[in-house]
Amino acid sequence: MVEGKSRIVLALGGNALQANPKDTSAEAQIKTAAETAKSIVDLIEAGHEVIVAHGNGPQVGQIVGTYEAAHQVNNGMPIMPFPECGAMSQGYIGYHLQQAIRQELVNRKIQKSVATIVTQVLVDENDPAFSNPTKPVGSFFSEEEAKKLQAEKGYTMKEDAGRGWRRVVASPIPVDVVEAPIVSTLVEAGHVVITVGGGGVPVINKNGALEGIPAVIDKDFASGKIAEILDADFLFILTAVEKVAINFNTPEQKELREVSIPDLEKYIEEGHFAPGSMLPKVKAAMKFVQSKPGRRALITSLDKAKEGIMGQTGTVVVE
């Protein structure tokens, strides 16, 4: 599939950071990152330029939850603003990944530096997502606590499937990546860059000043946006399954090997892809492919990335 030297943006799914969702310890993430690094360095060793993006759902939830718990226990101790929690998650996930990638490069005697950029992603303050927040973040609260937070902090709180009340935030579409010129400079110089972690820290432009806002940008859309800006040849979305499927988990399940934009549009209309799971990956892949003639996207599992690059597996999205 990939011929010669190509520029590839890798969007790592949650399984690339936490093999066991029940074990969210730093030690477990370090171990998983070491395995993830092998697939990433396979691409680098083959001569490709690689830019790494990743999710942060469980990690940022832990950070937010820690501050919320302290708020409840310590007489209203201030809760860390959500944009800062996102930046924290970018820092420590990036640290684990860059350590793991660097060590794998050293093991293979490849001389490259690895850097994490704490990345801000510009969104439109008039994005319709802000009028309908849907992404739950942080801890569960009683109805009384939730209403108090709503009154004091201006949060949007919603009841979550009988388990309690949680804060919900918007999920706007990325417009631009603020640090893209820095990322581009590092990539052009031959370095490995980790960027738009967790979709990036969402910011809006207020008369030239950037203001962090409480929101969650889908990491696949953010990965697609940085791939567009950097003029990448390929967007690789690495997830838990080897191929995208229609009629998933039914006797009629069919895996897709190469699929066109019109066919995907039809499958989306028919409701084949779950909104919180495969749908954003498919839409991000489509958007990237449509952004410039000749671009392609691959959706596959992390452990099949090397085979996917060689055209042996995965779902390839084409025009």
Active site residue 207: no
Active site residue 281: yes
**10 bridge partner residues:** 52, 236
- In three-state secondary structure terms, 224 is helix
**Rounded to 5°, angle at Cα 163 from 159 and 169:** 40
Residue of 225, 243, 281, 283 marked active site: 281
Residue of 199, 219, 224, 283 marked active site: 219
How far apart are the C-alpha atoms of 178 and 196, rounded to whole Å? 10
Residue of 14, 138, 199, 314 marked active site: 14
Active site residue 74: no
Active site residue 75: no
**Could you give the C-alpha distances from 134 to 158, 211, 250, in angstroms and in order?**
9, 21, 28
Choose among 216, 111, 227: nearest CA to 169.
Answer: 216
Choose among 210, 61, 37: nearest CA to 121.
Answer: 210
3-state secondary structure 230-263: CCCCEEEEEECCCCCEECCCCCCCEECCEEEHHH
**Could you give the C-alpha distances from 90 to 54, 220, 252, in angstroms and in order?**
9, 15, 40
Strands (DSSP E) contained in 106-164 are: 114-116, 120-123, 135-141, 156-159
How far apart are the C-alpha atoms of 9 and 198, rounded to whole Å? 14
Helix pair 26-45, 82-107: axis angle to 10 deg: 50
Active site residue 306: no
Residue of 55, 57, 135, 200 marked active site: 135
β-pairing, 254-255 vs 245-246, is antiparallel
Catalytic machinery residues: 14-15, 135, 219, 281
